Amino acid sequence: MTEPRQTQRLRADEAGIAEAARLLRAGKLVALPTETVYGLAADATDGRAVASIYAAKERPSFNPLISHLPDTAAARREGLFDAAALALAKAFWPGPLTLIVPVSPGCTVSDLARAGLASVALRVPSHPVAHAVLAAAGRPIAAPSANRSGRVSPTLPEHVLVDLDGRIDAVLEAGPTEIGLESSIVACLGGAPKLLRPGGVPRAALEAAIGRELVIADAAQGAAPISPGLLASHYAPEAAVRLEAAAPLPGEAWLGFGPEPEGHALPPLSLNLSTKGDLAEAAANLFAALRQLDEAGATTIAVAPVPMQGLGEAINNRLGRAAAPR
């Protein structure tokens, strides 16, 4: 259970940013825009504030959270970066990349935000509003996606309010997020860097920056659950999801990608991730489309095939989770 809270809507201007930072420093919960998805932010150094994130989201267990920092220098005070981590930070920060690194001796991120692990998840987001809040807060800010547990991540402030109105202290409203998929997560814990979650930076770009292939950790394949939040069914809409569909069957809603299938009348519940087949556009539309079809009452969503190149790997990863048995 969580105490009801009055959720302030803050504008993403100077006053709103200052108020968001003030609330965070006071241990409150603020939903913030990032370039990937909206995050539910709290002071990562304050165990009580972090605990209230789990309560607001109704997250069943204490998954480790990503701590957000305004720049690489601040991130390096929290974690120990090896050569691969440094190369990745240099190439992709600020941006949609999270690095899992060993905690530094001076790490200020609370045990609860790390779920007791000896490693810490760090990210320097590029969204100018997120950056301004982080700079003003002056401490690591923990932020999982700002959705209720089990729902898809919010890419609009309206999605945050549907899930969390009355459960958090404020939402900083800055329109749709640009990328629409969560950050790529790479663990640099000594030895070969591992891709824990495909995300906003395509794998080929990550591999080019470190000059080697990434080991892929696939939680769904029963590998050691080093990233406990990566359970197969984590991103579930209410509707069933049927992947790699050539066309919708009678009664199904349709989520297309690229040109629509010929010779089929599309059902009334029908959306397209990108009629031009643009993967960046599809990523940006994915979670909003799943929410929209769900809210319109779809029982099964048939999804057109999405190619595996570039951002397609992350899109297919999220679609696979949405389709996972639960």
Question: Which residues sit at the interface with ligand TXA, rule CB under 6 A?
Answer: 34, 36-37, 39, 63-66, 98, 100, 114, 117, 119-121, 123, 143-145, 182-183, 185, 196, 226-230
* Residue with smaller CB distance to Mg ion, 145 or 184: 145
Minimum CB separation from ligand TXA for residue 100, in Å? 5
Q: Which option in ligand TXA, Mg ion, none does residue 123 bind, with CB closer than 5 to 8 A by kind? A: ligand TXA
Which residue minimizes CB distance to ligand TXA? 229
Shorter beta-carbon distance to Mg ion: residue 34 or 145: 145
Verify binding: residue 317, Mg ion, rule CB under 5 A. no
Rounded least distance, CB 63 to ligand TXA, Å: 5
- For ligand TXA, the closer of residues 65 and 306 by Cβ is 65
Under the criterion CB under 5 A, does residue 145 sit at the interface with Mg ion?
Answer: yes
CB of 302 to ligand TXA, least distance (A): 26
Tell me which of ligand TXA, Mg ion, none is bound by residue 143, counting a contact when its beta carbon lies within the kind-specific cut-off of 5 to 8 angstroms. Answer: ligand TXA
139 close to 110: Cβ distance less than 8 angstroms: no
CA 108, 77, 81, 59 torsion: positive or negative? positive
Query: Least distance from C-beta 151 to Mg ion, angstroms?
Result: 9
Rg (CA), the chain: 19
Output 110 or 145, the one with its CB closest to Mg ion: 145
**Kind and range of the H or E run holding 293:** helix 279-295
- Residue 317 binding partner per list ligand TXA, Mg ion, none, with a CB distance cut-off of 5 to 8 Å that depends on partner kind: none
| Nearer to ligand TXA among residue 148 and residue 242 (C-beta) | 148
Closest of 224, 228, 191 to residue 210, by C-alpha? 191
**16 vs 79 by CB, closer to ligand TXA:** 79
Element (H, E) at 100: strand 97-102
Contacts of 244 by beta carbon, 8 Å cutoff, 6+ apart: 303, 304, 305
Least Å from the CB of residue 47 to Mg ion: 20
CB of 37 to ligand TXA, least distance (A): 5
The two tokens of residue 155 are 């890419």
Query: Can you point out the beta strands (E) in 211-313?
Result: 215-216, 240-242, 253-256, 270-272, 300-303
Interacting span for Mg ion (CB under 5 A) from 42-50, 92-100, 144-152, 264-272: 144-152
> Do the Cβ atoms of 38 and 32 come closer than 8 Å?
yes
Stretch that binds Mg ion, among 2-10, 138-146, 169-177, 280-288 (CB under 5 A): 138-146
Identify the CA nearest to 126 among candidates 71, 47, 51, 76. Answer: 71
Q: Minimum distance between the CB of residue 86 and ligand TXA, rounded to whole angstroms?
A: 18
Q: What is the C-alpha separation between 110 and 91, in angstroms, rounded?
A: 28
Cα–Cα dist 127/60, whole Å: 29
β-partners of residue 101 are 120
Q: Is the distance from CB of 245 to CB of 302 less than 8 angstroms?
A: yes
Q: Kindly list the residues in this chain that would bind Mg ion in the complex (CB under 5 A).
A: 145
